[in-house]
Each structure stands twice: as structure tokens, then as C-alpha cells.
Structure 1
Amino acid sequence: MTKIQVTKLHTLTGHNDCIYALAEGFDPQFFYTGSGDGMVVEWDLLNPKDGKLIAKLPHSVYALEVDKEKKLLFIGHNFEGIHVIDLQENKEIWSLKITDQSIFDIKVYENEVFVATGDGVISIIDIKERSLKKHLKLSSKSARVMTIDKAKKQLAIGFSDHSVKIIDIVNYTPLHLLNGHSNSVFALAYSPTQDVLVSGGRDASLKFWNSNTYEQTNKVIAHMFAINYLSFREDGMFFITCSMDKSMKIWDANEHKLLKVIDKARHAGHGTSINKVLWSTFNQSIISISDDRSISIWKVDI
């Protein structure tokens, strides 16, 4: 492994339950977290110690998404629906009840919001009309994670039925079914610079897929336990995974080689499952959230 220097800059506290949701702001100096306590908090990377409460909801929040064009924050309110916050006005402007299920992920594409829920449904919402446009029932198991290839106009969805499904984002038709994982798929991301889709999940393995043909090109046993999430650095050269095994790992995106392990023993990392990780486009720091109710900010010198 190469000599990558990792420094823990901050540990942020304030949530009263496990932290599940993480999203970068339209201004990437800011980021947002959501947790089992129903609180959604805004944090400033330049002044991270003082979080600002954005919303307090009766049920847990597993999913957040920022529409950077419209400067809106979409909050997935479990067993209820979505709440939409105008980030310039700092107030809720509308909400929509769409489900009695857990909301595991939210993605925005142009004027539509895609919401992944525990019943295997993708709900499509029209932002301008503020209304439900369509339900896509794609599995009998939970839809856990989504990622969008904007150039190809494709949405990839990871499911608890062990599959990844690719749909056309314009007409919602199915394009590909990817079978390769032996358990739920929790982590999914398209490379920002290559024709590659990376998936990971409860089977602790990473799989690499050619996003033109969707043939599997490689497989890596990456963690001891479930891979909960992954995030690319914006130049596409590296990505980071986080796991139920309490560690994060930095990978070479071209060679799929492990470069660095970040954990409690070596770096005073999280003490329990790490649920999400974000490679900031503001200052290339890494943000992680955990069941231990804390947020960590890391400086990485590669």
C-alpha cells in the first residue's frame, strides 16, 4: 500500500441516534446529515463545530439528496414521504406523502426525483408539479441504493434481492439485470471519468462492471463485513468504501488496488458501523457518518 497520509480533522456530535444519511450541498462547503432521531443538520466545512438544524421529523431519515441547480434539499421521511427544503430560504416549501415504507435513497435528475423504498418500488416525482408521476415496482425486496449516469441517461439501482437493475431514465424501461452479488447491494456508483459502475454490499465484495456492456470486469473481496457505501473522488482516480466492519478503505480506481485502511486502531476512527462516506468536492476531505452518532472529517494526502 502506498504512503497515504490520513489526518482526522474533526469529530462532530449532536445527533441523538445512528446517522444514516449524508449529502453534499449546492455549495460544497456545506453538507447535510440525517439520522434515526429525525433531525437533519447542516454543517460548514470551514466552521464545522456548529451544526444548524434544518428539519426535525417524527421518523428516522435514511436518505438525503440536494438538487444543486434548484438549491433544494430532499429529505426521505421514513413511512411517510419526502420533505423539500429551499436551502436559500432555509424553510420547507412542500412535502409529499408517497409511501408507508422506509426510504433508502433519493436521486434527482433534471425535473424529476427518484425515490427508492423498502417494498422494491422506485417512485418518480415531478419537481415542478410537486406530484407523484409514476411508481415502478422492480422487486419484491428493498431498493437500497441508486446512482445516475447522466451522459447515458441511465439509473442503476441496487436491491436486497442481490441484483442491480439498470433502467432508462427517460422512458423508465428496463435495460440490464446484473447478477453477481450473493447478498443485498448497498453501495453503487458510476465512475465520474470512466465507463465503469462499481457495486458493493452485504457480501463484502466489490464488483466492477463495464457501463457500456454491463459485463462484470473484476471482483474484489474488500471488507470483513457488509460494504455500506462508496464514493469517488471527483477526478475519478480513487474511491473510498465504508463498512459494517468499522473501517474505511481507499482504492485505486484504475487498478482496483487497496491503498489505505482507515480504522479505529490506527486513526481513532469510528467505533461502530460506518454508514455513508462522501469525498468532498470542496476541499477533497472525506466525511464519514456512523452508528456511533458521530461525523468525522478527514484530510487525505495522496
Structure 2
Amino acid sequence: MSKLQIHKAGTLSGHQNPIFAVENGPEPHMVFTGGNDKGVVQWDLNTMAFARILHPVQFSVYTLHLLPNTSLLAIGTREGKVHVVDIGTAKLLAKLAHHQRPVFDVKSFKTKPEMILSSEDGTVSVWDTDNFNLLYHFKVAQQTVRTIAISNDEQWVVFGTKDGKLKLYNALDYSFVSEIAAHTLPVTSLCFSPDGRYLLTGGRDAQLNVLNGTDFSIVNTFTPHLFTVYAIKYHPTLPIFATASRDKSIKIWSAEDFKLLRIISLEKGFDSHFLSINNIIWNSYKDQLISVSDDKKAMVWDVSL
């Protein structure tokens, strides 16, 4: 693979506190961020500038999720509530008040109108996305369910827990299938590869596991970072994926052989983050990677082969 070209396209400044969540909008030039501030911020990648406060919040935002093929953004908070906001009108359509502890992840399906929330209370709730009624809720772990991944064929839902386990459920009826011991410390990130061959898992133990996407056996394990792996994201079209860590670096890897291709960090000469990188997302507007950090900044990176 030829050397990746990486160029910093801009910095999105304005947050007064650490940023934990980043999500694309219904239009490619839109991106949303949330964290330890009093609002979810909308940015314009065309101008690399602040667009507006989309929605004010009273509690820290831990996760943002755009419902597929809609303009609806789900906002998961430290309070345990999830606000569903219409991006077009900025109206609050629903406030899902079920969990008593923080909501750390939200994921939804393309093939059925259902959305899954995971919480620090060890439970998961499933909501219908037509009327936002609670459909199911069940216990997954004794402690935090930190992260969720839905397989590409939407047959499986995987939950990553604080005790380092993966909990595999059938996505059709949410029946429990199996438990996989994946990490020695909490699972902090999960991601299926675009072709469905692999499930990647990252943890606070600084390990990355590669699991077979069919039988969920572990086929590879390596140490991608010095500290917690907070995010793993495959590029939508290129054969690469990115990881982000508390060690203040982003690393780009080959999706074919898991070789390290590039490191984005201050030490490597990039004008990059100087504190923990909490999340990343690929954006299709100009094939860019967006990273958010404890340093209160979002950064936009041009990545090309």
C-alpha cells in the first residue's frame, strides 16, 4: 500500500470543556459534537466554522447517534436520558427517560425501526424509532455496558462491558447467545469491518482484538496504543481503519493485514491534540477524519491514498 497522505484541514474551536462525542449530520458538510458543555454543537465543514448550538443540555453528552436515513439525532447524557432532536427544525421530538445512570452508547438498525441504548447501570433498552416507545429492557452485565456494535447483516448485537467481556445477542429477538472474554479491563470500543469478516474490539488494557465476524473466535491480538483504545472506525471505502486513544494519538492501519500505516500525534510532527482523544469519525464530505479530545477541540484531517 502506498504511503498515506495526511493533512490537517482545520480545527473546530469553541467548546469550553472536554468533547466526548462526534457524529455526522444528514448533509455531508454537517458534523455534531458534544461533551462536558451545556449544548450539542453543529459545525460546517465547508467553512470550518461554528454553525449553531443545535440543542441545549443540562448534563454531559456521552454519545451522539444519527438515525439512518433521517434527520434525527439521538443525544445520550450523563443523566441517563436520551434526547431525540430533529436537526432540520432543532425541535426536541422525544426524551427517553428510562435509565437512571449515564447512557454511553446508542445504535440503531437500518432494517427495522429500533434503537438500542446502553447504560452504566448494566442494562440495555430497546426503543421503537417511529413513536419512541420502550420495547424491551434487559440486564446485560453487573456494571457498565460501555459500547454496542450491530453486525452488517443486522443478525447480531454485541455489547462491550466494564468487566472486559463481549456479550453476543441475537438481533431478531434479543436472546442471549454467548459471552466472550476479550479484555482484562473494560471494553471501550467495538467495530465490525465493512465486509463483515471481522469484529474489532478495543479496551482500557490498550489491547485490540480481531475476532472472526462469523464465529467470533479471536484470530489476532495486538497492542495498538499505550493506553485505552477509545475508538475504532473503518474508512467507508478505503481499505484502512483508524484508532484513537487516551495516549493522545490517532493511528491508521491497513484493513487487509493490520499493519500500522501512519501515526497522527504531536510527537510525529502533526499539529494535533495534546490530551486524550475520545472519539473519531469518518466524514464523506471530503473523505475526512474528525477527532475530538479532552483538549476541547475537534480536528479535521484529510486522509488519502
Which band: TM-score by shorter chain? over 0.9
- For the 8 Å contact 1:161–1:183, the answer to whether it is kept is yes
Asked if 1:165 is matched to 2:167, the reply is yes
Q: Deviations over 1:48-78 (max 9, x none)?
A: 2123111111110001100132321111122
1:121-200 to 2 correspondence within 5 Å?
A: 121-200=123-202
Deviation at 1:173, TM superposition (A): 0.7
1:64-103 to 2 correspondence within 5 Å?
A: 64-103=64-103
1:239-254 to 2 correspondence within 5 Å?
A: 239-254=241-256
**Unaligned residue ranges in structure 1 (runs of 5+):** none
Q: Deviations over 1:278-298 (max 9, x none)?
A: 122332111000000000001
Question: 2: distance between equivalents of 1:183 and 1:80?
Answer: 23
Deviation at 1:99, TM superposition (A): 1.6
Deviation at 1:2, TM superposition (A): 5.8
Letter in 1 for 2:177: L
- For the 8 Å contact 1:239–1:251, the answer to whether it is kept is yes
- For the 8 Å contact 2:54–2:87, the answer to whether it is kept is no
Q: Deviations over 1:14-72 (max 9, x none)?
A: 11111001111122321111111131011122122123111111110001100132321
Letter in 1 for 2:127: I
Question: 2: distance between equivalents of 1:186 and 1:162?
Answer: 9
Deviation at 1:152, TM superposition (A): 4.2
1:10-49 to 2 correspondence within 5 Å?
A: 10-49=10-49
When the two structures are aligned, how many residues end up with a matched partner? Answer: 302
- The residue number in structure 2 matching 1:4 is 4
| Stretch moving more, 275-284 or 239-248 | 275-284
RMSD over aligned Cα, in angstroms?
A: 1.4
| Stretch moving more, 173-182 or 100-109 | 173-182
Letter in 2 for 1:16: Q
The normalised TM-score by structure 2 is: 0.95
Q: Deviations over 1:220-245 (max 9, x none)?
A: 11101111111100126110000000
Question: 2: distance between equivalents of 1:200 and 1:38?
Answer: 29
**Unaligned residue ranges in structure 2 (runs of 5+):** none
- The residue number in structure 2 matching 1:228 is 230
Q: Percent identity?
A: 30
Question: 1: distance between equivalents of 2:238 and 2:156?
Answer: 19
Letter in 1 for 2:76: G
Q: Deviations over 1:150-177 (max 9, x none)?
A: 4142111111110111111120011232
Q: Deviations over 1:62-100 (max 9, x none)?
A: 011001323211111222411111122222122121122
The normalised TM-score by structure 1 is: 0.96
Letter in 2 for 1:281: S
Q: Deviations over 1:84-130 (max 9, x none)?
A: 11122222122121122111110111311100100111111122232
| Stretch moving more, 147-156 or 133-142 | 147-156
Q: Secondary structure at the match of 2:302?
A: strand
